Amino acid sequence: MKPLSLFVLVFLISNFSFSQIDFGIKGGLNFDSAGEAQLTLESKDHERKSGFHIGVYSEFDFLIGYLRPELQFTNVKTQLEGREISTNRIELPVSFGLKLFGPLRFFVGPTAYYSLSQKSSNYSFEAIKDKTTFGLHLGTRLNIGPVGIDLRYERGLSPIQTTILTQNGVDVSGNVDSRPNQFLVGVSYKLK
């Protein structure tokens, strides 16, 4: 068993020592799926609208795969009864990827979310209690020179509940689940 452990250790060290490290910037559009909100004991669908994300990434390239941590700011807009709610969060997706055919890549991994704020001109909210949550993502990327074009699906594993306190100055009882359930289209540019 010791020779096998030694072989695995040497393989991992050599793989990391020969890995190429890239850095870059990224951005794109988010298309959230519709979810549900609870407003005054009545369940209502809320319409998700498109949002955006912008950030940075690093990528550690190996023989047939790669590891790609990203850090991004995300803004998502929601409409509840025709009134817009804007959600801002920091996201940390970590992708484990495979190089498939030439420039085509497939990736999967966990995502950590940190909620910054929810704002609306019609609603006032209680402070978000559980600001941190986790999710999963999977997708594909096409690299053309220093430019990468990716398509991914992302889903939060636990709810991000925000309590609605007032609507247009009137006390109401309600909450919104802003858990990510979205498709993302992104473009990245490799700087190094």
Asked if residue 4 is part of any domain, the answer here is no
User: What are the pLDDT digits (tens) for 23-73?
Assistant: 999 999 998 764 555 444 444 555 667 899 999 999 999 888 999 999 999
Total structural domains within the chain: 1
Residue 111 lies in a domain: yes
User: Do 190 and 22 contact (CB within 8 A), yes or no?
Assistant: yes
pLDDT tens, 105-139?
999 999 998 888 766 655 555 556 667 889 999 99
Would you call 11 helix, strand, or coil by DSSP?
Answer: helix
Q: What is the CATH number of the domain that holds 60?
A: 2.40.160.20
Is 3 a member of any domain? no
Please state the pTM of the whole predicted model: 0.74
CA distance 71 to 168: 35
First to last CA, the chain: 40
